[in-house]
Structure 1
């Protein structure tokens, strides 16, 4: 599937890198995200579970990615993501959009505090574990100035 880009006369697919960072081995969420983002027209490179920061950076560089989507469900995302944006900057990836989502902090009571923490770490958007994949897709489309294809717009109109 090809996604049209606002303001452009050609269609191009946006590449996103997806993975579970650190020692986290929760695979179900990223499998769902992979399928949802692919169905929405994105080219998804799924790094799987227990992905290091270097693997995210290397994949973003190798695939000329527009976005890096980090997942974490075991509550240690702060430690796992410490320094990630510096590594991305060192690799000339400062223009790559970064998202993180999941159960990001052990005992996470106030998600607004968690969101603020990860925004201060450099993430463009921060999602909790209850976020619908469609919400993340719509956010990424907005952040990358991507609009749905004509077929997707028609199906949304029909189902609305």
Structure 2
């Protein structure tokens, strides 16, 4: 069973969406390691190392995801997680910004997939399956 690490980064305490993501991914047959809310980059990375996770899905709803996620790819690489997939989604920046520009900034930071506010885990599940080689 493939492991996916999920959680809410930084000083964010939005737990409901995180639980929905956990439920959906578990239902789809993944081993979900939920580091919870108020999580640091290291919490995600350590959980990925411990479970040999192939994907880290970072949620942020309070607008400071860009600051909280900066340098995460480098830390993953330093920890030997060069091939781990990094997903991020939610309300990841402050204010109304052009999402294409936001997406580019996160991809430049090493995130593989970047999702805008309002996207649901059901909208993303096919991409997860594809990226993890589980698409039928």
Q: TM-score range by the shorter chain?
A: over 0.9
- Asked if structure 2 preserves the Cα contact closer than 8 Å seen for 1:88 and 1:94, the reply is yes
Query: Pick from 44, 68, 83: which aligns with 1:80?
Result: 68
| 1:128 matches 2:116 | yes
1:17 alignment counterpart: 5
Match of 1:140 in 2: 128
- Runs of 4+ in structure 1 deviating by more than 2 angstroms, as ranges, are none
What TM-score do you get using the length of structure 2 for normalisation? Answer: 0.96
Task: Name structure 1 gaps, 5 residues minimum.
Answer: 1-12, 149-160
Supply the RMSD in Å over aligned alpha carbons. Answer: 1.0
Unaligned runs of 5+ in 2: none
Q: Are 1:116 and 2:104 matched, yes or no?
A: yes
Residues 1:39 and 2:21 aligned together = no
CA–CA separation in structure 1 for the residues paired with 2:33 and 2:52: 11
CA drift of 1:144 comes to 1.0
Larger radius of gyration: 1
1:98 and 1:67 map into 2 onto residues whose CA distance is 6
**Is residue 54 from structure 1 mapped to residue 35 from structure 2 by the alignment?**
no
